[in-house]
Amino acid sequence: MLYNSTENKNEIVSSAQAIAQGISKEGGLFVPQEMPSYDEDTFNELLKLDYKGRAKKIFGDFLTDFTTEEIEDCVESAYTAEKFGSDNPAPLVTKNYNGNEINILELWHGPTCAFKDMALQILPHFLTKSLKKTYDGKDAVILVATSGDTGKAALEGFKDVDHTKILVFYPVDGVSPMQKHQMNTQEGSNVNVCAIEGNFDDAQTGVKKIFTTTEIVDKLSENNMLFSSANSINWGRLLPQIVYYISAYCDLINTGKIKIGDKINVVVPTGNFGNILASYYASLMGLPINKFICASNSNNVLTDFINTGVYDKNRSFYTTISPSMDILVSSNLERLLYNLSDNNDEMTRNWMTQLKTEGKYQVTDEVKEKINSLFYGGYCNDNDTKETISKMFKEENYLCDTHTAVAVEVYDKYVSETGDKTPTVLASTASPYKFSNAVLTAINDGKDLPDNEFDMVDMLNDITGVAVPTPLAVLKNKASRFSDVCKSNEMPEYVLKSLGVK
C-alpha cells in the first residue's frame, strides 16, 4: 500500500516513509491511496481475536512494507497488560443517559490516563522501524511542544525506546499543576523536559524553528541523529485509532448487542479531528457507521463548519474545562476534505492556503452535502458539561471526565433532535481524575475545594469511591527530576546541549 500527500497526489511514499517523515514536503498530510476492504468473512475472523490480534491484522493491511514479525513486535510492546491494566486496552461499558443506552469506549486506561496513549504507546515502535528502513538506522530526536496531555503521553511512549531521544517543552505557566508534575517526574534514560518562559505558541514556534534550522539539522546528522515528530498529523498516530472502533464493533457483536452488518453511530469529543477521522476511515474499510457525531466545546468551529460548510477560525478563543479540545484549527480535517472531494489535491491545497492566509474557507455544495449526510455537529458549554457529569454520576453512578461529558451531552441533543436510536459507541477520552478540579466542582454541590490538586484527587475518591488510576496515584510521592526553565530564544542551544552535541 502506498500513501500520497493531500496537497500533491504526485508525492507518493511507502508507509515507513510516511511515518518517518510525518508531513509531506509541501505541507500536505499523507493518506493511503486505497483502503483495505473488510467483508463479513473478515469480521467473522476478527471476532475471534483479542485486541492485539485485531490490531495486528489491521496494521498488516496498512503497513505493507513491514514484516509480520515487525508488526507483532510493535503491538506486543505497546498494548501490554502492565501498561493498560488488562489485556483489553479499550473496554466498552454500557450506561444509560436520559433513557438512551450508550456504549462508552474507555480509551484512557494507558499510562497517562488519556486516549493519546492508544497511539503514542505504539508510534515510537512504528517510527524506529520506519527510520531503519528509510534513514539507515539514524537515532530519532523527538521534539515536542505541549500544552499538557500530548507531552506526557509522548514521554511515556518514547521512554527507554532504543534509538530515540525525546525532549519536551511546555509553557511555564500554561499547564495544570498535575500536568507539570506528570512531566517533571518522568522516568527514562532518554527523556528531558524543559519549561519555556512564554506561552504555548512560543514553545511551538521555537520547536518549528529548530526543525528547520539547517545548521542544527546538519550538526545532528554529523552525530547520526535526525529530528522527528510525534505530532497528531503523523499517519502513525492515526492508524492505531482505527483499531479501537473496529474492535468495539466486534465486542458489540460478541456480547450480542448487534449482529454483523448492523449499523452503529459513533460520538467523539473532538479537537484536532484525529479521533473521529479514524472512525471515518474504519467506515471506508467496511465498518457500518450510520452517523459520525462530532462533539465540540465552546470552541465550536467544527459545529459551524458541519452546519454551514464554512470553516472560519476568526473568532474568540475560549479556555474551557475540556482543554484538550480548545482548538481552532483542526489539522486532520484536511484528510476528510481530500477524501470527500474525490481525492482532489488541488482543491484541498486551495482550502488550506485560504485557511492560512484568510483564516477561512468554504467547501463546495457537493462536499457540504456529503458532510451533512455523514456528520452531525454539536457543542456543549462548560456549565452543561458540569451538569452532565453530575447527572451521569447521580443516575448511573458513572464518573466521566469533562471531554467525555461534552460528547454525552451532544449525543443527548442528537437523539432528541432526530429520534435516531441506532446503537451507539461513544469515545471516552480521559480519566476523570485527570481533570479533578472541574469534575469535583460538578459533583460536590458547591462545597469548598482544597487548593492542592492531589488533595482534590483524594476528595474525589472519597466522594465517589471510584479508584484512582495507579499512574496518577503514585505521582504524589514521586520526586521531580526536571526543573530547567529557558527563554524561547535559548531553545536551540538547550537542545544541542542536552543531546551532547557541540
DSSP calls for 403-443: HHHHHHHHHHHHHHHH-----EEEEE-B-GGGGHHHHHHHH
289-296 sheet: strands from edge to edge: 92-97, 100-106, 424-428, 264-269, 289-296, 375-379
Closest CA to 486 of 67, 192, 262: 192
Name which position in 56, 116, 335, 368 contacts ligand PLP (CB under 6 A).
116
Catalytic residue among 52, 116, 291, 391: 116
In the region spanning residues 376 to 405, those forming contacts with ligand PLP, defined by CB under 6 A, are: 403
| Residue with smaller CB distance to ligand PLP, 115 or 126 | 115
Q: Give the residue with the Cβ less far from ligand PLP, 270 or 464.
A: 270
Minimal distance in Å, beta carbon 274 to ligand PLP?
Answer: 3
CB of 197 to ligand PLP, least distance (A): 25
The answer to whether 152 contacts ligand PLP (rule: CB under 6 A) is no
- d(Cα 274, Cα 279) in Å, to the nearest integer? 9
Q: Which residue in the set 149, 334, 412, 453 belongs to the binding site for ligand PLP (CB under 6 A)?
A: 149
Using rule CB under 6 A, residue 171 touches ligand PLP? no
Instruction: Identify which range of 208-216, 249-257, 265-273, 471-479 contacts ligand PLP by CB under 6 A.
Output: 265-273
Extended strands (E) in 243-329: 264-269, 289-296, 310-312
Q: Is 52 a catalytic residue?
A: no
Interface region with ligand PLP, contact rule CB under 6 A, candidates 109-117, 125-133, 367-375, 491-499: 109-117
Whose Cβ is closer to ligand PLP: residue 57's or residue 434's?
434
Q: Tell which residue, 418, 383, 396, 362, has the closest CA to residue 466.
A: 396
Give the footprint of ligand PLP on residues 424-443 (CB under 6 A): 429-430
Closest among 91, 138, 146 to 120, alpha carbons compared:
146
Element housing 282 (H / E):
helix 274-285
With contacts defined by CB under 6 A, name the span among 41-49, 66-74, 268-276, 453-461 that binds ligand PLP: 268-276
231-260: contacts with ligand PLP (CB under 6 A) = 232
**Are 101 and 257 contacting, i.e. CB atoms less than 8 angstroms apart?**
no
Cβ atoms of 296 and 303 within 8 Å: the answer is: yes
Binders in 179-198 for ligand PLP, by CB under 6 A: none
CB 332, min distance to ligand PLP, A: 7
Lookup: cell for 194: 524543559
Beta bridge partners of 293: 267, 376
What ranges make up the beta strands (E) of 213-338?
Answer: 225-228, 264-269, 289-296, 310-312
Region of 128-136, 170-178, 267-275, 297-305 interacting with ligand PLP (CB under 6 A):
267-275
Of all helices (H) and strands (E), which one includes residue 97? strand 92-97
188 touches 155 (CB < 8 A) = yes
Residues 204-233 that bind ligand PLP (CB under 6 A): 232
Q: For residue 1, count other CB atoms closer than 10 A to its CB.
A: 14
CB of 499 to ligand PLP, least distance (A): 28
Contact predicate 260/43, CB 8 Å: yes
Which range binds ligand PLP by CB under 6 A, 221-229, 253-261, 270-278, 491-499?
Answer: 270-278
In the complex with ligand PLP, the residue whose CB is nearer, 280 or 454, is 280
Least CB distance to ligand PLP at residue 439 (A) = 13
**Spatial separation of the C-alpha atoms in residues 120 and 445, rounded to whole Å:** 37
Check residue 138 and report its DSSP letter: P
Candidate list 157, 269, 432, 469; residue touching ligand PLP; CB under 6 A = 269
Binding ligand PLP (rule: CB under 6 A), the pick from 6, 229, 275, 279 is: 275
For residues 244 and 102, give the distance between their C-alpha atoms in angstroms, rounded to a whole number: 16
CB 275, min distance to ligand PLP, A: 4
Q: Is 117 in the site for ligand PLP (CB under 6 A)?
A: no
**Per this entry, what is the length of the chain?**
502
- For residues 18 and 325, which CB has a smaller minimum distance to ligand PLP in the complex? 325
C-beta of 295 vs 340, nearer to ligand PLP: 295
Distance (Å) of CA 495 to CA 73, 188, 380, 464:
31, 17, 40, 44
Piece in contact with ligand PLP (CB under 6 A), picked from 108-116, 135-143, 189-197, 338-346: 108-116
Using CB under 6 A as the criterion, what x/- string covers residues 318-337 for binding ligand PLP? ------xx------------
Number of residues that bind ligand PLP (CB under 6 A): 17
Q: Which residues are catalytic?
A: 116
Residues binding ligand PLP (CB under 6 A): 114-116, 149, 232, 269-275, 324-325, 403, 429-430
